[in-house]
């Protein structure tokens, strides 16, 4: 009987599946692309991102997933005459890795097959896969092809004119528990109405509207679908998965793995990731993921639970060293402390601006 080896030859029992931005890299590539090619693009992207949170998390727009900001951005890139080559060259130059991730990922790959499920655009994931020597066929991401679309100058000029209109409005404030536009302040209701009109009425029948409809970001439910496709192809159940994520786009996949009895790990995660995960790690580097992957490879879910239980705590009044650099725990037991530690690590590793995004 042929016995499968671990690692790159493929362990038929367990898989390591990770998000990209957060667990592997510190970038928010879509925001950086917007900042590079659109005037005041970072602020423009921040407004689209919060509108995305409203559509996905507040009103649950049918057919809309967390992370679909990446549907809303491409028409504006096209309007500013950005090409696929522009995005690819910029992305390749700007990959910023989480400290220690190259060493950690080499350790994980020696133990388990590694897959990436990311909302990021294809050019960025292609650059990351080359940088980390990951097989591109093991990566799921948002397909982007700006060159496939032809937009006349009249529509492009109209879209360019919409950018300062969007920037003139403040970033949406979404109160806890909001379930409709009626729960927002008046100025935010006006912003929602304006963006609804732009994306779902004024773009209808235009190339920009076709682009919004055609781009299918791998976020939220689509990220879960990508994960399910991986386990189906590999012939393993979700209980055989260790999934690492950090944001709202990972929440459905984290919850599904947690509920199936696999390992759902929030790495420097925000509130959405923490609410969906069973375990959490707040760390200045990626070494913790390799340690927990070792425990998973050796003992599955129970092995990780034991490793988390035995994880050393920093001593009062001393700077944490060794494994204690990471705060690791079970979310249901230490939710508030893990949330505080995760928020601090998220700001430290990814920066204040990226940490604020969902």
| 354: pLDDT strictly greater than 80 | no
Over range 106-115, report the average pLDDT: 97
**For residue 1, is it within any domain?**
no
Supply the pLDDT for residue 350: 85
295 in the same domain as 327: yes
What is the rounded CA–CA span in Å between residue 219 and residue 227?
A: 11
Over range 351-355, report the average pLDDT: 56
Angle at 163 between CA 161 and CA 169, to 5 degrees: 120
Range of the domain at 226: 7-27+98-143+219-356
Q: Which structure tokens are listed for 300? A: 């599955």
Q: Which structure tokens are listed for 49? A: 């991102």
What is the rounded CA–CA span in Å between residue 200 and residue 277?
A: 34
**For residue 248, is it within any domain?**
yes
171 in the same domain as 210: yes
**For residue 137, is it within any domain?**
yes
| 11: pLDDT strictly greater than 50 | no
**For residue 2, is it within any domain?**
no
Regarding pTM above 0.85, the answer is: yes
pLDDT, tens digit, 9 for 90 and up, residues 232-275 = 999 999 999 999 999 999 999 999 999 999 999 999 999 999 99
66 in the same domain as 47: yes
What is the rounded CA–CA span in Å between residue 298 and residue 236?
A: 17
Instruction: Band the pLDDT of 57: cuts 50, 70, 90.
Output: confident
**For residue 276, is it within any domain?**
yes
Q: Out of 214, 245, 260, pick the residue that ends a domain.
A: 214
261 in the same domain as 322: yes
| 187: pLDDT strictly greater than 80 | yes
**For residue 75, is it within any domain?**
yes
Instruction: Band the pLDDT of 2: cuts 50, 70, 90.
Output: very low
Task: Give me the helices (H) in the chain, please.
Answer: 29-37, 41-53, 69-72, 74-79, 84-93, 101-109, 122-132, 153-167, 186-197, 207-214, 221-234, 251-260, 271-276, 287-309, 331-350, 352-356
336 in the same domain as 202: no
Supply the pLDDT for residue 146: 96
Instruction: Band the pLDDT of 6: cuts 50, 70, 90.
Output: very low
Return the higher-pLDDT residue of 62 and 156. Answer: 156
196 in the same domain as 71: yes
Q: Out of 180, 214, 248, pick the residue that ends a domain.
A: 214
| 351: pLDDT strictly greater than 80 | no
CATH of the domain at 13: 3.40.50.1000
194 in the same domain as 342: no
344 in the same domain as 258: yes
Cα–Cα distance list, 138 to 13, 15, 115, 117, 209 (Å): 17, 11, 5, 9, 31
pLDDT, tens digit, 9 for 90 and up, residues 134-165 = 999 999 999 999 999 999 999 999 999 999 99
Return the higher-pLDDT residue of 227 and 12. Answer: 227
| Residue 328 host element (H or E) | strand 327-330
Instruction: Band the pLDDT of 71: cuts 50, 70, 90.
Output: very high
**For residue 76, is it within any domain?**
yes
Question: 15 — phi, psi (to 5°)?
Answer: -130, 150
What is the rounded CA–CA span in Å between residue 131 and residue 97?
A: 10
167 in the same domain as 130: no
Query: Could you give the 3-state DSSP secondary structure of residue 204?
Result: coil
pLDDT, tens digit, 9 for 90 and up, residues 307-322 = 999 999 877 655 677 8
Q: How many domains does the structure of the chain reveal? A: 2
207 in the same domain as 114: no
**For residue 272, is it within any domain?**
yes
Supply the pLDDT for residue 152: 98
Return the higher-pLDDT residue of 6 and 284. Answer: 284
Over range 346-356, report the average pLDDT: 72
* Mean pLDDT of the residues in the chain: 92
| 356: pLDDT strictly greater than 60 | no
296 in the same domain as 209: no
Over range 95-122, report the average pLDDT: 97
Over range 118-134, report the average pLDDT: 94
Q: Which structure tokens are listed for 223? A: 């990220």
Closest CA to 356 of 85, 171, 229: 171
Cα–Cα distance list, 232 to 5, 57, 141, 237 (Å): 20, 28, 18, 8
Q: Out of 214, 229, 264, pick the residue that ends a domain.
A: 214
| 181: pLDDT strictly greater than 80 | yes
Within its chain, how far is the Cα of 108 from the centroid?
20
Query: Could you give the 3-state DSSP secondary structure of residue 115?
Result: strand
User: Residues 6 or more apart from 211 whose CB is under 8 A from it?
Assistant: 74, 75, 78, 149
282 in the same domain as 136: yes
């Amino acid at each position: 009987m042929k016995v499968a080896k671990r690692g790159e030859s493929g362990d038929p029992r367990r898989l390591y599946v990770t998000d990209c931005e957060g667990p592997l890299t510190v970038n928010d590539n879509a925001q950086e692309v917007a900042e590079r090619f659109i005037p005041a693009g970072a602020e423009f992207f921040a407004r689209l991102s919060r509108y995305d949170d409203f559509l996905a998390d507040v009103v649950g727009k049918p057919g809309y997933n967390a992370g679909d900001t990446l549907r809303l951005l491409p028409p504006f890139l096209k309007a500013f005459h950005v090409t696929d080559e522009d995005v690819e060259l910029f992305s390749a130059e700007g990959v910023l890795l989480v400290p220690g991730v190259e060493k950690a990922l080499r350790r994980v790959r020696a133990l388990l097959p590694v897959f990436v499920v990311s909302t990021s655009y294809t050019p960025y994931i292609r650059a990351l896969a080359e940088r980390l020597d990951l097989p591109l066929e093991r990566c799921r991401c948002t397909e982007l092809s700006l060159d496939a679309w032809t937009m006349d100058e009249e529509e492009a000029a109209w879209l360019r004119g919409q950018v300062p209109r969007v920037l003139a409005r403040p970033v949406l404030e979404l109160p806890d528990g909001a379930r409709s536009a009626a729960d927002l302040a008046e100025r935010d209701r006006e912003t929602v109405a304006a963006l609804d009109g732009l994306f779902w009425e004024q773009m209808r029948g235009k190339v920009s509207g076709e682009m919004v409809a055609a781009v299918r970001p791998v976020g939220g439910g689509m990220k879960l679908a990508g994960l399910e496709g991986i386990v189906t192809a590999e012939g393993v159940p979700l209980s055989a998965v260790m999934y690492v994520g950090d944001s709202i786009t990972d929440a459905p996949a984290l919850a599904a793995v947690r509920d199936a009895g696999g390992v759902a790990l929030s790495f420097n995660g925000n509130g959405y990731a923490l609410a969906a995960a069973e375990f959490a790690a707040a760390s200045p580097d990626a070494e913790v993921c390799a340690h927990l992957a070792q425990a998973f490879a050796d003992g599955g879910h129970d092995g990780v639970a034991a490793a988390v239980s035995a994880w050393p705590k920093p001593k009062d009044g001393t700077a944490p060293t060794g494994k204690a650099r990471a705060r690791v725990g079970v979310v249901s037991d230490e939710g508030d402390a893990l949330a505080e530690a995760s928020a601090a690590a998220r700001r430290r590793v990814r920066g204040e601006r990226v940490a604020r995004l969902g």
